[in-house]
Amino acid sequence: MRRGSLIQLAALAAVAAGICIAVALAIPWLPEAAGKEAQRIDLVFWFTTAIAIAVFSVVAAVITYSVWKFRARPDDDSDGPPVHGHTGLEIAWTAVPALLVTAISIMSAVVLAQNSNAGSNPVKIGVLGRQFAWSFTYPNGKTYGFLELPVNRKTQLDITSDDVIHSFWVPQLSQKQDAVPGQHNKLVVTPIKTGTFPVICTELCGLGHSLMRSHVTIVSQADFAKFLKGGASSGPAGLAVFQQFGCGGCHTLKSAGATGTTGPDLDKLKQDATQAHRGSLTAFIKQSIVDPGAYVQPGYQNGVMPTTFGQQIPADKLSQLVQYLAQNGK
C-alpha cells in the first residue's frame, strides 16, 4: 500500500474516532459514582468503550476508503481484479481482537473480585424486598423503609425477598442484585460520597413495580453511629410501620409523603369507610389490610393488594398502623 493511501486511511480513522470521542464525552452517560465499586465498574465501561471506539474507527476508515477509491464507474462493466487472501492481515485481525477481549475479561475478573470482597469487618444490613417496598434491618435490630449507609466503610447487604423476585439497584452505586425468596444474595458497597440517592426495584414484580422505590442516605461514620443508637427520628410508630411495609408504594398519604395511585387514596379513608358501610373506621381499616378482598373500593380491582399483610405485620405494629391511618383519614 502506498504512503499516500495510508495517510488518507489514518485521516479517515482520526475523523471517525474524533466524532465517537466527542459523543462519548459530551453526554453524561453514567450517573455520578458514589461508591468505590461504581468507580471500578465505570473504569471497565470506559476501557471497553475506548477499545470499541478504536476498532470502530479502523473499520469505518477502511469501509469509507474502499467505497471512495474502489467504486465502479457508471460505464465500467469489467470484472474486478482477482484478489487472494492476505495471511498477515488475517493473523492480525484474529490476534488483535483475541488480545483485546482477553484484556477486558482479565480486567472484569479483577474488578468483580474486588467488588465482592467484604473485608474483615463490614457493616451488615439486611435488605428485604416485598410487593411493593424495600425494608432495611440494621445491626441494632431496627427496621426502616429507607437505607442509611456510612461513608468510606464497607457495608455488606444481605438481600432477600418475601414474595416474588425483586432486584435491588442504586444507580450511583452501580450494582444490581436480585432479591429472591429463600435466598440470601450479598452485595458489598463502599460509599465515597455523602448524599441521598434513589433505591429502585429493577425487576418487574407486579402492578406496583414502578413505585417500588426508596432512598439511600450516605452519612458520615459519626452520624451513622448516632443513627444506630436511635438518634434518627422516624415519626409516629404507625408511620414507621407504613414505611416498613411499603404502603406508600401503592397508596397516597400526604402525612407520609406517599403518592402511590395503584390503590385507593388513604387521605380519603373516612369518606370511603362511610361509603362502604362496614362498621367503625378502625375496623374498616384493619379489615382492608388483613383481608383486602372483603371490600374493594369502587374503581379498583380485587386481587391487587397482597393478602399476606395479615401474617406479615405483627399484631402490635398492625394496631399502630390502623391508629395512624385512622387519625390521618378525612
Contacting residues toward ligand CUA, per CB under 6 A: 129, 132, 166, 201, 203-205, 209, 212
Pick between residue 65 and residue 146 the one whose CB is nearest to ligand CUA: 146
Beta strands in the chain (DSSP E): 123-130, 133-137, 143-144, 147-150, 155-161, 166-169, 176-179, 185-189, 195-201, 213-219, 252-253, 258-259
Cβ of residue 131: shortest distance to ligand CUA, in angstroms?
A: 7
CB of 96 vs ligand CUA, minimal distance in Å: 42
**Least distance to ligand CUA, CB of residue 148, Å:** 21
Q: Identify which of residues 107 and 165 has a Cβ nearer to ligand CUA in the complex.
A: 165
Of the pair 119, 198, the CB lying nearest ligand CUA is at 198
Rounded CA-CA distance 221/104 in Å is 35
Strand partners, 214: 199
42 and 30 Cβ atoms separated by less than 8 Å: yes
CB-based burial label for 24 (10 Å; 0-12, 13-18, 19+): middle
Residue 130 phi, psi dihedral angles, 5° rounding: -155, 145
Nearest CB to ligand CUA, comparing residues 140 and 183: 183
φ/ψ (deg, to 5) at 212: -80, 80
| C-beta of 33 vs 211, nearer to ligand CUA | 211
- Residue 90 main-chain phi, psi, to 5 deg: -65, -40
Q: Which residue number, 42 or 178, has a Cβ lying nearer to ligand CUA?
A: 178
Residue with cell 380519603: 268
In the complex, minimum distance from the CB of residue 165 to ligand CUA, in angstroms, rounded to a whole number: 8
Q: Residue 70: how many CB atoms within 10 A of its CB?
A: 9
Cβ 202 to ligand CUA shortest distance, Å? 7
**Closest distance to ligand CUA from the beta carbon of 263 (Å):** 16
Provide the phi-psi class of 43: left if phi over 0, else alpha when psi is between -120 and 50, else beta.
Answer: alpha
Closer to ligand CUA at the Cβ: 130 or 154?
130
In the bound complex, what is the minimum distance in angstroms from residue 17's beta carbon to ligand CUA?
A: 40
Rounded CA-CA distance 164/132 in Å is 10
